[in-house]
Amino acid sequence: MRRKFVAGNWKMNKTIPEARQLITELLLTLKSLDGIDRAVCPPSTSLPMAAKLLQGTGVGLGAQNMYWEDSGAFTGELAPAMVAELCEYIIVGHSERRQYFGETDGTVNLKVKAALAHGLTPIVCIGESLEENQAGKTAEVVSRQVRGGLADLTPEQGAKLVIAYEPIWAIGTGLAATAEDANAIHRDVVRPALAELFGEQVAQGIQIQYGGSVKPDNALGFFTQSDIDGALVGGASLKADSFTAIAKAAAES
């Protein structure tokens, strides 16, 4: 049985006091939802504060980006060991990083390997654009992203991954995929691609989150599908009431 995993991607939102306030409010509910995995991914500036607040609560902490090299002249970047000092999770290959910051399946692969080498759990984001979707290329694009981003990993490493299927056209638009369509991609495309790389048993154990306009009113519909193992939540993770409602739906499902 795969546990449900709900993670909040705060993107470039919240100052340190704002982040402290939100985490304090979230903990009132999230702390007790120990039947699911739950995590927040605030901006890097809030990670040290968040790490302290979340210590011993069962709520995980993730960063939104890091570089793959261990150290050196890479102005503005965070090394895997620096992230691992504070976090358990690292979001890799989010479509916004692919779109605005040149991330590719190749750099995703380097980051995933670096994350695993430092004991971080990568949340690897994949998903097709609107044009690719409309051209009927979703399966092709998503399988290519899985194969490229996760190339050369062992089954033991594969077992430590979390995947987030996030159709780009659904992110921040209010136009979520239907639960049935998302589940079909998870079940018929993503998990089989993972099975090709790591074997069926490992693939069956990997959590595959859905992301893209998940809200309190549609969350349960996703979480009751066979192959949707939680959500990566953007906009609705910025308010305590909406994120806790989504986490509660995961706990109930």
Binds ligand PEP (CB under 6 A): choice among 26, 124, 168, 171: 171
Is residue 208 within the footprint of ligand PEP (CB under 6 A)?
no
Structure-block tokens of residue 151: 């190339």
Q: What is the DSSP secondary-structure string of 209-241?
A: EEESS--HHHHHHHHTSTT--EEEESGGGSSHH
Taking CB under 6 A as the rule, does residue 42 contact ligand PEP? Answer: no
Q: How far is the CB of 23 from ligand PEP (least distance, A)?
A: 18
Asked if residue 141 binds ligand PEP (CB under 6 A), the reply is no
Q: Least Å distance between CB 15 and ligand PEP? A: 20
The footprint of ligand PEP on this chain (CB under 6 A) covers a number of residues equal to: 13
For the purposes of burial, counting CB atoms within 10 Å of the CB of 40, is it exposed (0-12), middle (13-18) or buried (19 or more)? buried
Question: What string of DSSP letters covers 74-141?
Answer: -TT---HHHHHTT-SEEEES-HHHHHHH---HHHHHHHHHHHHHTT-EEEEEE---HHHHHTT-HHHH
Active site residue 166: yes
Q: Which of 42, 93, 122, 211 binds ligand PEP (CB under 6 A)?
A: 211
Q: Which is nearer to ligand PEP, 197 or 247 (CB)?
A: 247
36 token code pair = 């699911």
Q: Judged by CB, which is closer to ligand PEP: 13, or 57?
A: 13
> 118 catalytic, yes or no?
no
232 binds ligand PEP (CB under 6 A): yes
Q: Which residues does the annotation mark as catalytic?
A: 94, 166
